[in-house]
Amino acid sequence: MGSFLSDSPPPSDEPVKISADETFVNRFVDTPGSGQSRPSEETEGADDVDDSYLQRPPVPFLSEAAIPETQKEKERLKLLEELQERESKAAEKKVDEISKRSLRYEPLPKPCAGERQRVLQCYRANQTDVLKCAQVVERYTQCARRAAAGVTGRLG
């Protein structure tokens, strides 16, 4: 007996730390000489057994230093989403504005349409002697030159 007492460490005021795994093992494994045994099937459903830790998923560990960073990331993400929404609306507005301006197509009246029609009528009437239509063709040609000069004058 004397050697048993001398081999043991001196008593300490510090509490003994037991990990969660050791506690779990102590609850459900037979320990020789402890007088404890595994819970029977009758006591497994009893109120005094707390098995809620088996049903809950583990809580992910997040260090305190990472919490502000996570919050900053959430704020940045929110700002980016707001910016994307504003830019999207602005782009849609610009597309509508440009579409309204560029899609206004008004066909221009064909110049010299009357003179052209008279030339065609003259040719049909004088198929054997087309020289009789020279004056009508000359008027059509002058009209076409004036129209071309007007168009190039507006563009140039």
pLDDT (0 to 100) of residue 156: 45
Residue 67 within any structural domain of the chain = no
- Residues of the chain scoring pLDDT < 70: 1-54, 56-59, 62, 103-104, 152-156
> d(Cα 121, Cα 133) in Å, to the nearest integer?
9
Same domain, 145 and 118: yes
Give residue 150's pLDDT. Answer: 81
22, 47: one domain: yes
Helix (H, G, I), strand (E, B) or coil at 141: helix
Shared-domain flag, residues 151 and 117:
yes
Q: In the predicted model, what is the mean pLDDT of the chain?
A: 75
Question: What is the pLDDT at residue 65?
Answer: 73
Residue given tokens 């168009």 in the structure block: 151
Answer for the pair 148, 110: CB distance below 8 angstroms, yes or no: no
Specify the number of domains making up the chain. Answer: 3
DSSP designation for 3: H
What pLDDT score does 69 carry?
A: 82
Structure confidence at residue 13 (pLDDT): 60
68 domain residue, yes or no: no
pTM over 0.75: no
Instruction: Looking at the structure, tell me whether residues 149 and 122 fall in a common domain.
Output: yes
pLDDT of residue 108: 80
**Residues spanned by the domain of 33:** 18-54
Does a structural domain hold residue 33?
yes
